[in-house]
Amino acid sequence: MMSLPEYGAHDLNPKWIDFLKSFSPSLAEKVSVCKKRFSGWTCENGHRINRGTLCQQRDACPRCSAVYTTMLTNDAVELVSKIALRTVGKVEFASVEFTLPREAQAKVSEVDVSGLRNMGWKVLQNVLDCYDVDGKERRLLAGVGAVHNWHSDEPWRGFFFHLHFTVLCLYYDKVSGGFGRNQMFLDPPHLLMLRELWRQKFEDRYGRTIAKTFDVHWHYSHGQGRLRHRLQYQFRRAVLDCYKATYRSGVPTSLNRDWAERLLYPPKNMKRLQWFGFLSDGVKAKFLKEKLSIALEKKAVRDKERRKVPCPDCGSQLFCYRHDIGYDELAKEGDSRVLAFPKRRRVGA
């Protein structure tokens, strides 16, 4: 919590706002006032506090994008921690990235995203020994996959497909009816198998390539903190990398505007994240309840809990009594306070 002068003007980098104006003045206006308008909150004891209002433009505003990514990450880390507590005792996972050489990139389009994500998961199932000799699935893995179609360091350069997976160390054995631990440290033969399978499945679908290698990165890690860091990176939207690139060097003069517009306005039906195995949608609630006695609350219930805000003065629940308050109006009150992080921790600052 801080005073209004400490909170400051909360401006985003002007280069980013100017860039948005070249596409949509109305979008630029919405993003430019993000967290510069306020809502008023009070509690049963009469304490008053203000909160900055988000613009909700998650694909164009770095602040809103980061807030939503953090929300998704918190949900995932909480769930994985509950599972670990009832099984292996600690959070363990592998971070996996499937890449494509330049020649293979040219064969892929955005309509292939879902199929390629499923293809990557099939590779992981094979390498982690999920099938018996008859090709029947005997182990259920658990993990989440995300498609990134931009280059992290150079997001403006155009379509650059790669896959990210986070795979839990845990699997469920359909035969024994119990849980087991995956081999999280892949030796050189298994790493080679991983890369060769990725190449094989890709070429079976798209045809032969002359590329020497199809690289796959595999990294074992453990702990809630590292999982949180990993998922924050995996779940992020392109706007965060675009904003950083614009802050560093501005928008390139040779910008492909069709590509830039694609990043700002992604298809509404595009599935960015997909959970697999016993954590896949439609499966995890029933599975976790029956196998681990973990009852998952519905999203509406979780969202309602998440919106609750304790009063920083007395701890009782705050409720909103006013919307759309301007900075200048709050400044006239003299003793206005804002519920926010210190300046050094502001998202998008």
Asked whether residue 108 falls in the same domain as residue 132, the answer is yes
- Domain range enclosing 142: 62-302
Asked whether residue 37 falls in the same domain as residue 110, the answer is no
What pLDDT, in 10s, does the model give residues 196-245? 999 999 999 999 999 888 999 999 999 999 999 999 999 999 999 999 99
What pLDDT was estimated at residue 248? Answer: 87
Q: What are 257's two structure tokens?
A: 């505007």
What pLDDT was estimated at residue 349? Answer: 34
Asked whether residue 262 falls in the same domain as residue 290, the answer is yes
Q: How far is CA 18 from CA 29, 60, 132, 148, 151, in A?
A: 10, 12, 57, 25, 22
Asked whether residue 240 falls in the same domain as residue 133, the answer is yes
What pLDDT, in 10s, does the model give residues 129-164? 999 988 899 999 999 999 999 999 999 988 899 999
Asked whether residue 95 falls in the same domain as residue 167, the answer is yes
What pLDDT was estimated at residue 133? Answer: 86
What pLDDT, in 10s, does the model give residues 63-76? 999 999 999 999 99
**pLDDT > 90: what percent of the chain?**
68
Its pTM stands at: 0.89
What pLDDT, in 10s, does the model give residues 295-343? 988 878 877 887 788 998 999 999 999 999 988 888 888 778 898 755 4
Asked whether residue 285 falls in the same domain as residue 136, the answer is yes
What pLDDT, in 10s, does the model give residues 73-115? 999 999 999 999 999 889 999 999 999 998 999 999 878 888 9
d(C-alpha 234, C-alpha 238), whole Å: 11
What pLDDT, in 10s, does the model give residues 313-322? 999 999 999 9
Asked whether residue 148 falls in the same domain as residue 185, the answer is yes
Asked whether residue 332 falls in the same domain as residue 273, the answer is no
Per-residue pLDDT band for 126 (boundaries 50, 70, 90) equals: very high
What pLDDT was estimated at residue 7? Answer: 81
Three-state SS at 325 = strand
What pLDDT was estimated at residue 346? Answer: 36
pLDDT exceeds 90 at position 10 = no
What pLDDT was estimated at residue 251? Answer: 84
Q: Which residues pair with 216 in a beta bridge?
A: 98
Does residue 40 contact residue 322 with C-beta atoms inside 8 Å?
A: yes
Mean pLDDT of the chain: 90
Asked whether residue 224 falls in the same domain as residue 321, the answer is no
Three-state SS at 305 = helix
Q: Which of 146, 349, 157 is nearest to 242 (CA)?
A: 157
Q: Which residues pair with 147 in a beta bridge?
A: 163
pLDDT exceeds 70 at position 347 = no
Asked whether residue 289 falls in the same domain as residue 312, the answer is no
What pLDDT, in 10s, does the model give residues 248-270? 888 888 889 999 998 888 888 78
Per-residue pLDDT band for 345 (boundaries 50, 70, 90) equals: very low
What pLDDT was estimated at residue 342? Answer: 52
Q: Which residues pair with 310 in a beta bridge?
A: 317
- Please count the structural domains in the chain: 2
Work out the burial of residue 168: count CB atoms within 10 Å of its CB; fewer than 13 is exposed, 13-18 middle, 19 or more buried.
Answer: buried
Which has more pLDDT, 268 or 12?
A: 12
Report the Cα 293 to chain-centroid distance in Å: 27
Asked whether residue 28 falls in the same domain as residue 76, the answer is no
Asked whether residue 31 falls in the same domain as residue 120, the answer is no
Three-state SS at 318 = coil
